[in-house]
Amino acid sequence: MPNILWTRIDNRLIHGQVAVTWSNHVGSNLIVVANDEVAKDPLQQSLMDMAVPGLDTRYFTIQETIDKIGQASDEQKIALIVKTPQDVLKLVRGGVPIRKVNIGNMHYSEGKEPLTNTVAVDEQDKEAFRNLHRLGILLEIRRVPSEKGKNILDLL
């Protein structure tokens, strides 16, 4: 069983807040980014690696994450980062043992409604969150560790 300490939805993926604040807070020593585009883009990977000196990183597609996460060693304390709730749903349905999701940042764009100043959703996002809830996953909006979390279902 992989030692997944924390799973976060953040459309920015790795940045200073994730790399420093959250990784220290949860005690991770490995950040796994599950994203089909970034997994194939060495430039984006190297830019993200600059934000995480001293931490190991892996960049996998969603399917690679499903296939490989079970091979993690006990010493790997994993922070799992994805862009969308749909990605989390695919991971969970693929057998990745996720029990709680931290929703940090989902940018506003046309067709999305803001739930908080950092989280905006459309109907597909809402449906993915509802499906995750039905699967027993806790869903908490929380930008930083010091902030009190909000259950996203209370805002849908």
Assess whether pLDDT exceeds 90 at residue 18.
no
Give the total residue count for the chain: 156
Q: Which domains does the chain have, with CATH numbers?
A: 4-154 (3.40.35.10)
Centre a 10 Å sphere on the Cβ of residue 100 and count the other Cβ atoms it contains: 13
* 79-120 per-position pLDDT tens digit: 999 999 999 999 999 999 999 999 999 999 999 999 999 999
Assess whether pLDDT exceeds 80 at residue 17.
no
Give the pairing of strands 30-34 and 56-60. parallel
Distance separating alpha carbons of residues 40 and 28, to the nearest angstrom: 24
Nearest to 61 by CA among 78, 85, 41, 89: 41
Rounded to two decimals, the pTM is 0.94
Known active-site residue 133: no
Q: Check 15, 25, 107, 133 and give the catalytic one.
A: 15
Among all chains, which residue has been given the structure tokens 């805002």? 155
Using an 8 Å Cβ cutoff, are 152 and 140 in contact? yes
Q: Which residues contact residue 19 at a Cβ distance below 8 angstroms, ignoring those fewer than 6 apart?
A: 31, 51, 52, 55
Could you tell me the two tokens for 78? Answer: 């994993």
pLDDT of the residue at 72: 95
* 32-43 per-position pLDDT tens digit: 999 999 999 999
> What average pLDDT does this structure show over 14-22?
83
